[in-house]
Structure 1
Amino acid sequence: MEPHSRSIPNVTNGEFSDAELFQDLHENEHCPEGTIPIIRHAREDEYYPHGAISAAARNQKKLNIRVDLDAKGHEYAGVGLSGGKYYGARAFLNVWKPATLGNGDLSFAQVGVQAGPPDRLNYIQAGWMVNSRDNEPRVFLYWTSDGNKKTGCYNLNCPGFVQVTNKIGLGAALKPPSTYKGTQFSIPIAVYQFRGNWWLQVNEIMLGYLPSHIFTDLRTSATAVSWGGQVFDAGKMGHHTSTQMGSGHFASEGFGKASYFTHVEYKHETGYFLAAEGLRQYQHVRRRKGRRKIDRLVLISHILAGGIKIHVL
């Protein structure tokens, strides 16, 4: 049994417009009943490098969100909650088309849930990503049940995610993206537990779920939830990448210029989604020749129209 889309309360988007999901098929075409869309790329191993987003949950003392992994190539900023029991995370993610330079660079905006010690960390992350090979924002899901030791993959690239809809597939493009000083588009993304399984909802579409039995610590609940952005530098440019996170502009520039998350919520044990309060900031930036690259990683959170708005650069 799958949860009804009303399990996640509808939120009026107000001054924002909804981005739309587009298949890599002819417009308005759906898969036949009993089948699902699978979006493939010429080189899946390069398009989705193994563990490329794992460092987003690297050890952060203030937040106690951690992954015992090498953070080489990863730069990220976000906010999160920890120390309790959480049954999901959701937000409206501002959709952009950040410039991704180099062979294999990536840019992400994501929500995440996790549980467990570093040696067997369970986590799920979902949102949109842009790969330097086609520079299109696309829906993604990533999971692991052992800190990326033997498990972990994107989308449908390994057994795990059970898709239940034939309307849209993981890897679907999001169009149109937001424009600087122009119309802003956002997409609601939710990862939450229902009857033990972890479901992915995009807009009003229930894409599918990760069965509880593939996890250890996430079988009961998450112990931390997070929201944020990330850049992966494949290191093939010979210098620090200029790949952008979000819009590539400072949070201080404000709405219409800086990327944002809105309606940042977590799922409570009562089954309701509640506004995330007491968010803690975390970030990881790389050092090059003794200098810290931080211009794209400033993050500010504040209250806007009764909800949390996060500017992620």
Structure 2
Amino acid sequence: MPSITVYFATLVFLSFTIACEINHGCVHALKDEENNKSSVKTIKSEDGSVIDCVDIYKQPAFDHPLLRNHTIQMRPTAYPDGINMNTPAINITKVICPEGTIPILRTQPFETKLGRKSLNFEHPQVSGHEHAVVYLTGKYLGAHASINVWQPNVRTPAPAPEFSLSQIWVISDNSQNRATAEAGWMVFPAFFKDSQTRFFLYWTDDNYQQTGCYNLNCPGFVQTNKHFALGSVIKPVSTYKEKQFDISITIYKDRANGNWWVSLQNEILGYWPASILTGLQNGASDLSWGGEVVNTQPDGRHTTTQMGSGHFPYEGYAKSSYFRNIQVVDTKHNMASPVGMYPIATKPGCYDLHIEANKNTAYGYYFYYGGPGLSQNCR
């Protein structure tokens, strides 16, 4: 990718420094050096990533004061009834870390106001975040989908960090402080220092203000899987008019203790402890599936950053990106079909969404979404 200018790098550094001074939740964005020192084994993966195998009890989560005496739960007490164990064919970089360790990707991330996640459907122009999602309200204990994986173009350099992602949101909106548990894939050059498509997690317990971060970059998520490093590259990705690839993600609550688990390709990755995600202690009030981009262009023109495949929903299979086999985890801990989904496209001339009317056995409930950004209909 083109190099970021010195001015931009300086701005990012200053923004990060200020953010860390006022936000204790981001101090672990500079934790690579500590991980290096406590590494039992260091691995260089096929995609060039450097991964440290760190003692499972020395992972960032245990620096949180609420988790100082936390005992790791290695497996959920129960799985949602009806969960589909068929794993789609795709390769996410796997490593072999020793027993009692977890893999942690070396990154040099930062936190800025625009770099933070957002869920502002009503006023995307204020936050710079734009969405094409389906939304569902009710009472839930989790969500599932298989997400079509692409490598959209993300504008860089830009006045501020831009990204393109596709993900599941599990949301509690029952108080002033929105809480979320999120998982999906993203292209975020300023964060990962490349333009590759990577798996990610995100969380917040106070509407993206002082709590939350990506992956393991702050105390929060407890990883139990020794094979997947959060932030790993996903390969292969889908190609226009050619073979399509997707990843299967489930986020669900453990009813016995309130922890929120994440599985990828039906492998358990770990969980957010109930003591961290307090806003989700009574379950989720909303679920969402879809795409998000950041538009930071200052000249009045829209960004060229793409969402999904970079093509509109009407182009259909192998051209547009999709979510399929959309399911919810209901209050009885059963996998169930969604009822009452509705689309939200904050700028349909730039990024749109279309829910398919028919349900078939291969794709279940599904929709197409995405778009090119700056174009004839998007200025």
Q: TM-score range by the shorter chain?
A: 0.7 to 0.9
Match of 1:22 among 84, 93, 97: 93
Q: Which amino acid aligns with 2:104?
A: I
AA aligned to 1:107 is S
Cα distance in 2 for partners of 1:171, 1:230 equals: 17
Cα distance in 2 for partners of 1:4, 1:218 equals 18
Measure, in 2, the Cα distance between the counterparts of 1:222 and 1:205: 23
Q: 2:253 aligns with which of 165, 178, 193?
A: 193
TM-score normalised by length of structure 2: 0.70
Aligned to 1:110: 167
Matches within 5 A, 1:65-80: 71-80=126-135
Which structure has the larger Rg? 2
CA distance in 2, matches of 1:5, 1:226: 24
Distance 1:155 1:170 in 2: 6
The whole-number CA distance in structure 2 between the counterparts of 1:70 and 1:296 is 14
Partner of residue 99, structure 1:
153
1:259 is displaced (CA, Å) by 0.3
C-alpha separation in 1, matches of 2:90 and 2:162: 23
The residue matched to 1:252 in structure 2 has which SS? Answer: helix
Is 1:250 matched up with 2:312? Answer: yes
Q: In the superposition, relative to structure 1, how do residues 12 and 206 fare at CA in structure 2: closer, same or farther (>3 Å)? A: closer
SS in 2 for 1:37: strand
- Does residue 120 (structure 1) correspond to residue 174 (structure 2)? The answer is no
Distance 1:36 1:72, change over 3 A: same
Structure 1 residue 11 displacement after superposition: 5.8
The alpha carbon displacement at 1:233 in A equals 2.4
1:56-205 mapped onto 2 (5 Å cutoff): 57-58=119-120, 71-82=126-137, 84-103=138-157, 104-117=161-174, 119-132=176-189, 133-194=193-254, 195=256, 196-205=258-267
Name the counterpart of 2:76.
3
SS at match of 1:123: strand
Cα deviations by residue, 1:71-113 (Å, 9 ceiling, x for unpaired): 422111110211x210001100000011111233211110011
Counterpart mapping for 1:19-58 below 5 A: 19-23=90-94, 29-41=95-107, 43-45=108-110, 49=112, 52=115, 54-55=117-118, 57-58=119-120
Aligned to 1:289: none
CA contact (8 A) 1:164 1:206 kept: yes
Shift of 1:302: 3.0
The structure-2 alpha-carbon separation of the partners of 1:31 and 1:241, relative to structure 1 and needing over 3 Å to count, comes to same
- The alpha-carbon deviation at position 69 of structure 1 amounts to 9.2
CA drift at 1:278 = 1.7
**Would the alpha carbon gap of residues 213 and 244 (structure 1) be closer, same or farther in structure 2, given more than 3 Å must change?**
same
Closer, same or farther in 2 for the Cα pair 1:141/1:49, shift >3 Å? farther
RMSD, matched Cα: 2.4
The separation in 2 between residues aligned to 1:150 and 1:70, in whole angstroms, is 22
- The amino acid of 2:183's aligned partner reads A
Asked if structure 2 preserves the Cα contact closer than 8 Å seen for 1:85 and 1:269, the reply is yes
Is 248-257 or 1-10 further displaced after alignment?
A: 1-10
Q: CA deviation at 1:5?
A: 9.1
Query: Alignment partner of 2:314: what SS?
Result: helix
User: % of aligned pairs identical?
Assistant: 37
Q: 1:54 to 1:301 in 2, by over 3 A?
A: farther
Residues 49 and 167 (structure 1 numbering): CA distance in 2 closer, same or farther, change over 3 Å?
Answer: farther
- Take 1:187 and 1:95, find their aligned partners in 2: how far apart are those partners? 7
- In 2: Cα distance, 1:81 partner to 1:234 partner: 28
User: 1:110 touches 1:127 (CA, 8 Å); kept in 2?
Assistant: yes
Counterparts of 1:192 and 1:158, CA distance in 2: 21
In structure 1, the residue matched to 2:38 is none
Partner of residue 263, structure 1:
325
| Structure 1 equivalent of residue 360 of structure 2 | 305
Give the SS at the match of 1:120: coil
Q: Alpha carbons of 1:235 and 1:69: their partners in 2 closer, same or farther (altered >3 Å)?
A: closer
Mapped contact 1:102–1:236 kept (Cα < 8 A) = no
Instruction: Specify the code of the residue in structure 1 equivalent to 2:109.
Output: E
1:213 aligns with 275
Letter in 1 for 2:351: R
Task: Tell me the matched-pair count.
Answer: 286
Residue 212 of structure 1 aligns to a residue in which SS?
Answer: coil
Question: Counting helix residues as a fraction of each chain, which structure ranks higher?
Answer: 2
For residues 99-155 of structure 1, give each alpha carbon's deviation from its aligned partner in whole angstroms, at most 9, with x where no partner exists: 111233211110011113563111111100111341111111111111122112111
User: SS in structure 1 opposite 2:358?
Assistant: strand
> Helix, strand or coil: the match of 2:234?
strand
Alignment of 1:295 with 2:350, yes or no, is yes
Q: Does the 8 Å contact 2:199/2:232 carry over to 1?
A: yes
Counterpart check, 1:232 vs 2:287: no
Scaled by the length of structure 1, the TM-score of the pair is 0.84
**What's 1:280 paired with?**
342
